[in-house]
Amino acid sequence: MTELKTFKNITCTFCGALCDNIEVKVKDNKIEELKNACAISRKKYEHALKDRTSPMINGEESTYQEVIEKAAEILKNSKNPLIYGLSSTTAEAQKNAVKLAELSGANIDSTSSVCHGPGTMAKQLVGMITATLGEIKNRSDLMVFWGANPVEAHPNHSKRYTMLSEGLFKKNRSDREVIVFDVRKTPTAKMADQFIRVEPGKDFELLMALRLIIQGKKPETEAGKVAGLELAEIEAAAEKLKNARYGSIFYGMGLTMTGAKYMNTWAAMSLIRDLNNDHQRRFVMMPMRGHGNVAGSEITMAWQTGYPFAVNFSKAYPRYNPGEYTAVDLLANKEVDAAFIIASDPAGNLPKKAAAHLKDIPTIILDPHWNFTSDFADVVIPSALKGITASGTVYRMDHVPLHLRSFLEDEWPDDAAAVAQIGELIENA
């Protein structure tokens, strides 16, 4: 029997907040004790070693080497494959995946396209004013959550980085005003000083009205209302934004998935830009990134290809176009003839009819755990657990990189190794 070993400052990879203060006690390759983990993180660690995948081809058990070779064969023989997922794996695996996409003339897209990709598209139109989380903790006197519900999606976010954190200049909750804009009174809204209910799908109109007021003009509407709100209410909200010295807006899927989609974020980014026009006032914004390393998927893809997601390699160089090379579109239009899913579950997470095409074409999945996609995948490649049995790099929602240390043993290689091996087989074929 081995001794109890303690690992401090371990990074949890569940969400984009990447809390790096998890304490784990390990004995006999098992987690005995966990500290500082949120409810979701705790479940994640508890479940880590259960429900593990094993090498499978067409529903038959196989060997690791065989599944790797089969994956290479499928990608090589495909005319227009899709590589998708990436946001729950390490930057090292993401880098290798881009190389693999290049080698196999594939389309490569991350879950970002159905998550915060629209924010990145908006950034390409107007730019983005942002900060690292610690800066917001230290300075922000007004925190706005727009279509974001971190209490349920990023449970430790408020304690570590926002409302309840201790900062350099802002010490506690009473030093900060908190406003939540949302279509429903979420648990996050319940923690705020003010909840402003936005009519569903009308975020764009409200953001544009706020911009106008901040520019010193008046919105015009026949009904005297915008997004279900009286003009006076909107003016009062604008006044609060204007009174901030270092304001911050955290935005979630409530902005990126609704109505005007990326143009919502464009409007929000334009609002933030306008708010910075007063010399005394700073204002920043932050996407509430969901998956642990979804930010990393955009970062690694960008330095290798110049583009953040939705990249196509059929011409042996990268091309970019969300709406064309994004997973939902490629699958819904039935344009791809093979798919390699890396650390994701499109059958669970994409619109059902898009995921359905995966059942028709050869599909490979690389994931440590069984999920809805591995259920029908032609090839299942098992993998080590990021941040538990595998090391690597992850990028937080504010692009701060963290190194993952492994503290348990695994029988399977990690994602980075699997992807690299498939790439080598294609390259040397």
Partner 1 sequence: MLRLKNAVIYDPTNNKDGVKEDIWIENGKIAAEPKPEVVKELKAADDLEEIDLNGKIVMAGGVDIHSHIAGPKVNSGRVLRPEDHRRDNVARKGKLRSGVGSTVPSSYVTGYRYSLMGYTTVMEAAGPPMKAKHIHEEFGDLPYIDKGFLVLSGNNYFVLKFISENNQQALKDYLAWLINVTGAFGLKVVNPGGVEAWKEGKRMRGIDEKGTHFDLSPKEILLALAKAADDLELPHPIHLHTNDLGSAGNYKTAINTMKLLEDYRLHITHVQFSSYGKNEDSKIKFAMATDEIAAEINRQSKLTVDIGQLVFGEATTMTADGILEYNLHKLSGNKWVNTDVEMETGSGIVPMNYKKKNLVNDIQWATGMELFLKIEDPWKVFLTTDHPNAGPFTAYPWIIKLLMDKNYRKDYISDLNDKFDEYTDLSSLDREYSLSEIAVISRSGPAKALGLKNKGHLGVGADADITIYNNIEDNDIAEVFAHPAYVFKSGKMIVKAGELLDNLEIGKTLVTKPEYDQNIIELIREDFQKYYSISIDNYPVTDHYYDKIEVIPCVTKE
Partner 2 sequence: MTKLKLKLKKENPALIKKGKELIGKIPVEVENIRADLIKKMTLAEIKELEIRAGKEIYQLQDFFEIKGEPAEVIEIDGDLSNFKYLGAAMNSGTIIVNGDIGMHVGSEMSGGKIEIKGDAGDWLGAEMTGGIITVNGDAGNYVGAAFRGDKLGMNRGLIYIGGNAGNFVANKMRRGEIVIKGDCGDMLGAQMIAGSVYVFGKCGKRAGAGMKRGTIITFSDLEILPTFSYNISYFPNFLNIAFKHLQHDYQIEISDQFFNSEYMRYTGDNTELGKGEILIWKKD
Partner 3 sequence: MSDNNFILITGRTIKQGMASVSGKKSDNYKKETSYVEVSKNVLQRMNIEEGETVILESEAGSVEVSCKAADLEEDIVFMPYGRIANSLIGTDTGGTGMPNSKSNVVKLIRKEAQTN
Nearest to 249 by CA among 200, 206, 215, 212: 206
x/- map, 360-399, partner 1, by CB under 8 A: -------------------------------x-x-x---x
Q: Which of residues 224-283 bind partner 3 (CB under 8 A)?
A: 253-254, 256-259, 261-262
Give the residues across from 338 on adjacent strands: 81
Of the pair 46, 239, the CB lying nearest partner 3 is at 46
Distances (CA, A) of 428 to 94, 106, 252: 20, 17, 43
The entry of partner 3, partner 1, partner 2, none near residue 68 (CB within 5 to 8 angstroms by kind) is: none
Is 125 one of the binding residues for partner 1 (CB under 8 A)? yes
Dihedral of CA 409/414/417/422: which sign?
Answer: positive
As a whole number of angstroms, the distance between CA 151 and CA 92 comes to: 30
Q: Which does 21 bind (CB under 5 to 8 A by kind): partner 1, partner 2, partner 3, none?
A: partner 1
Tell me the C-alpha distance between 247 and 175, whole Å. 12
Beta-sheet strand order (sheet of 5-10): 5-10, 22-27, 30-35
Taken in order 298, 299, 302, 305, the sign of the CA dihedral is negative
Number of residues that bind partner 1 (CB under 8 A): 68
| 63 burial type by CB count under 10 A (0-12 exposed, 13-18 middle, 19+ buried) | exposed
Does 270 bind partner 2 (CB under 8 A)? Our answer is: yes
**Distance (Å, whole) CA 58 – CA 40:** 33
- Does 370 bind partner 3 (CB under 8 A)? Our answer is yes
Phi/psi zone of residue 141: left (φ > 0), alpha (ψ -120 to 50 degrees), beta? Answer: alpha
* Binding partner of residue 236 among partner 3, partner 2, partner 1, none, CB cut-off 5 to 8 Å per kind: none
Indicate which single residue of 32, 46, 166, 360 sits in contact with partner 1 (rule: CB under 8 A). 166
Least distance to partner 3 from the beta carbon of 13, Å?
10
CB atoms within 10 A of CB 349: 17
If contact means CB under 5 to 8 A according to the sort of partner, which of partner 1, partner 2, partner 3, none does residue 95 touch?
partner 1
Q: By CB under 8 A, name the one of 145, 146, 181, 204 that touches partner 2.
A: 204
Give the total residue count for the chain: 429
Number of Cβ within a 10 Å radius of residue 61: 10
Minimum gap (Å) between residue 270 Cβ and partner 2:
7
Q: Please report the beta strands in 282-343, taking only residues with DSSP state E, as ranges in sequence order.
A: 282-287, 311-312, 319-320, 338-342
- Other CB atoms closer than 10 Å to residue 299's CB: what's the count? 18
Q: Residue 386 Cβ, how far from partner 3 at the closest point, in Å?
A: 12
Query: Which residues bind to partner 1, rule: CB under 8 A?
Result: 8-9, 11, 20-21, 91, 95, 99, 102-103, 120, 123-135, 137-139, 160-161, 166-169, 245-246, 273, 276-277, 279-282, 284, 298-300, 302-308, 313, 315-320, 391, 393, 395, 399-403
Query: Which residues bind to partner 2, rule: CB under 8 A?
Result: 78-80, 104-105, 121, 124-125, 204-205, 208-209, 211-212, 215, 217, 219-221, 226, 259-260, 263, 266-267, 270, 274, 313-316, 320-324, 333-337, 357, 360-361
Query: Which residues bind to partner 3, rule: CB under 8 A?
Result: 14, 39-40, 43-44, 46-47, 50-51, 109, 113-114, 117-118, 121, 149, 151-153, 155, 183-186, 197, 199-201, 253-254, 256-259, 261-262, 290, 310, 322-323, 326-329, 331-332, 345, 347-355, 369-372, 375
